[in-house]
Structure 1
Amino acid sequence: MRALARKGKSAAVRLYRGYNRRKARNAPPPSTRRIRILLLHAHGMGGTIRTVFNLAGYLAEEHDVEIVSILKEAEEPFFPIDPRVRFRFLDDRLRPSRNPLRLLLSKRPSRLIPKEESAYHRFNLWTDLRLARYIRSLDTGVLMGTRPGLNLAMAQLAQPGVITIGQEHVALRTQPEPVQKLIKWRYRRLDALVTLTRADLNDYRETLPKKPRKLTRIPNAVPPMTGDPSKLDAKVAVAVGRMTRIKGFHRLITAWETVAAAHPDWTLRIFGAGPQEDNLRTQIAEAGLQDKVELPGPTTDVGAELEKASLYVMSSRHEGFPMTVLEAMAKGLAIVSFNSPHGPKEMIKNEVDGLLIKPRTNANLAAGIIRVIEDEQLRRDLGTRALETAATYSVEEVGRKWDALLAELLARRDGSYVPRTAQPPAEPAAQAPVQPAAPEPPAQAVAEPPVRLAVVPVVPEVTP
């Protein structure tokens, strides 16, 4: 039976390869005019959504951009979005359906998304069907994924004429081992893989046995925010994020017990919502911090809340590239952050534009906060340098990197790409003429042909 199953699978693979080869022969020319970005829940709240909206708005200046959301669970987007960017939803969960196929498949778990993926519970067989149909409906243009499950599906299903770009917002080392194995196997099919940090870029370079055609790092850009930089005179510290264990807000509240004892006139505000919210409220009450720690809920105007603070605290166990740190820098706040190995460590220069604290050490976190509170000159120096750092992450600066990537990927597809080569050595300075030796026959110049990369058809793997 096993031998028969293997033969059947091999036959299916050969059929799929043949189908993709025919599609490749009949595909329209490669193009970057139309860009489609896959998101789990475009109307939700989170750093990935905010950064994707920011990128989509920039790209809409020169491209036809559509955000394709797997789910629709809210009528309106939580974050503002450029009106030129369109939305498409594959599974509208706000309206009940009488479609018997949808009702049946929605009750069954996903087979397309690996079960170890953190958002696996949000997918089902119906979303599998809708996502697979959508990906296979594209024959040209650019398709971007924004999380491992979507990148893996895109790498497996996209037609050869589509330029595929995987974005990774979470560090490779934090992914479950089964997801990492699939990444090693499938990501080689992507045209490009974009990481947010150099550390993650190096991890992919070392880990992937066969790499995508382009492996690069492009950080997030500072999104537009209302108001002005903070005056740093408010006795308020701020933290922002989804209330999950990974954000470490329970550690921050524990640290604030020490801060409140030393400086009872200071207030901590944690903006966000999530499954840990009730636990955090209980922790605040049990510690007697009801008047010292506030949980105002999520905010659509992060800039206004940061402007009313003097200090930003990052207590996450690990981060990819935390947008909230970048936003706080753009408001000139002093930053105190756990020294996560990827995002904060690359974004913050310790003692220059922020303070980096040994991870998961509540006492050290409290000491860092108290130091910034008590040393006003340090607080203002950190804030000034933070403004300078944030300027290097402007939308224009980061956008140019995306423009260059899209131009390179198109050139690789249409055969006009010429890789960078070392610059020729400078010609020596003119010297006095000397008697030449016997002339040698001139070397034959050989023109280097442009590099042409064959389009590799997308096929399902034979082994997992």
Structure 2
Amino acid sequence: MTQRDIFFVGNEVNELGGVGRWQTQMAGLLAGRGHRVTVVGIAPPHHPMDLGDRPPFETVTLYARRPPSRPRRRRLIGSLDPAVRRHEAHMRSAASRLSALFRAARPGAVIIVTQVWAMEWVALADTAGHTVIGMTHESFDTARKSSRFARVKKYYKDVDRLLALTQEDADRWAVEGMNNVGFMPNPLPFTPGTPSPRTEKVVVSIGRLSHEKGVDLLLDAWAEAAPKQPGWTLRIHGTGEAEEQLRQQCADLGLEDSVDFAGQTDDVPGALRASSVFVLSSRGEGFPLVLLEAMATGVPCVAFDCAPGVREIITHEEDGLLARPGNTFELARHLVRLMSDERLRDTMGDRALHSVRRFDPEAVTRRWEELFDFLER
């Protein structure tokens, strides 16, 4: 195995959330196999995640404060606009730090750009002689609804490989003319250990309290499901900008006795083992780590089929249940099925624990190393 210098370049080094957790895990996995790993962030995190006392990789952040957004060019003066010129000069200065890091790397280095905003700086840096891999950590449909869609097509069109999270999403990017596209699944965030006994009458949701995560839809579904299964609790772990609005919605629906806003948890496996059903109500996703975590604790999942990554993880009616995106009545019906049937919970939970092992971290890490070797040839 060739030991390489590997750079992860993301928006932040340690932002709390799915991409940040994935980046930290993959950096650790590759460092554990003897590679020299550096994680580079463009800006400091909004919500920092603890990397521990001695992470097995170096970290660098280019800006002391988050840089302002790129100013729009005024039509008459375009690139001569002083604001535009100042912004581009600041970007080139920061990119020169990236160039210095890349030039100091050993031959065969790999630059993995985890988010397209970060790619705007990598595109200005000197990457000569190194492999550059760009990533999109969301579904094709989610990207298409945002400004990131055009930026992925612009900034990733000439990298050595653009990686989506599933074959289905990769095929759709290829139709858009991205002929360098492939796919790579996320690894299991932790090794399956002691499973949930699935005896607590708790349905758990874990994620940021934001519009994208659809907790408002979950509350609507819970208003349908809870009266049919008295004694069950919906426990919502997470914080975010929508919390006050969601608490008001909960009160308006008369659900305060059966909904527990439990705040952010630092013990995701423990929170999952204290539940019997996991629910994902997102409007959009990429390849949700929390589904992998739930299945790795033997907890059957109910989710909106909102992205190829979701149905890549869950096989409907085998190891979990999928509802049509946004269909709260269908989500409620699936929840009631699992809440009311202990045998079904145990069967699907056991199958989930078995099927999720296909995303074993060692196997995914080997796939990355095979990709590095292939792209170097």
Instruction: Determine the structure 2 residue equivalent to 1:190.
Output: 159
TM-score by length of 2: 0.87
Between the aligned partners of 2:158 and 2:352, the Cα distance in structure 1 is 39
Tell me if 1:297 matches 2:263. yes
Question: In structure 2, do the counterparts of structure 1 residues 127 and 38 end up closer, same or farther at CA, with 3 Å as the change threshold?
Answer: farther
**One of 69, 78, 94 as aligned partner of 1:109:** 69
8 Å contact 2:208–2:239 — kept in the other structure? yes
Offset at residue 184 of structure 1 (A): 2.8
Offset at residue 399 of structure 1 (A): 0.9
Listed as ranges, the matches of 1:24-423 within 5 Å are 33-61=4-32, 62-73=34-45, 77-78=49-50, 83-93=55-65, 108-110=68-70, 128-129=91-92, 131-137=94-100, 138-139=102-103, 140=105, 141-155=109-123, 157-175=125-143, 176=145, 179-208=148-177, 211-212=179-180, 215-224=181-190, 228-410=194-376, 412=377
TM-score by length of 1: 0.71
Question: In structure 2, do the counterparts of structure 1 residues 109 and 72 end up closer, same or farther at CA, with 3 Å as the change threshold?
Answer: closer
Residue 188 of structure 1 aligns to a residue whose secondary structure is coil
**Alignment RMSD, CA only?**
2.5
- Please say which structure displays the higher CA radius of gyration: 1
Offset at residue 81 of structure 1 (A): 8.4
Offset at residue 367 of structure 1 (A): 0.8
Offset at residue 43 of structure 1 (A): 3.0
8 Å contact 2:9–2:39 — kept in the other structure? yes
Instruction: Determine the structure 2 residue equivalent to 1:12.
Output: none
8 Å contact 1:111–1:125 — kept in the other structure? no
Question: In structure 2, do the counterparts of structure 1 residues 73 and 359 end up closer, same or farther at CA, with 3 Å as the change threshold?
Answer: closer
Q: Which moved more, 1:135-144 or 1:370-379?
A: 135-144
8 Å contact 1:38–1:143 — kept in the other structure? yes
Deviations 1:427-459 (A, max 9, x none): xxxxxxxxxxxxxxxxxxxxxxxxxxxxxxxxx
Residue 38 of structure 2 aligns to a residue whose secondary structure is strand
Offset at residue 180 of structure 1 (A): 2.9
Between the aligned partners of 1:288 and 1:358, the Cα distance in structure 2 is 25
Deviations 1:332-364 (A, max 9, x none): 001111112411122111100000111111111
Matched residue pairs, number?
Answer: 355
Deviations 1:2-61 (A, max 9, x none): xxxxxxxxxxxxxxxxxxxxxxxxxxxxx9621111122333210111111111111002
5+ long unaligned stretches in structure 1:
1-30, 94-104, 113-123, 413-464
- Aligned AA (1:359): P
Residue 205 of structure 2 aligns to a residue whose secondary structure is strand
8 Å contact 2:7–2:37 — kept in the other structure? yes
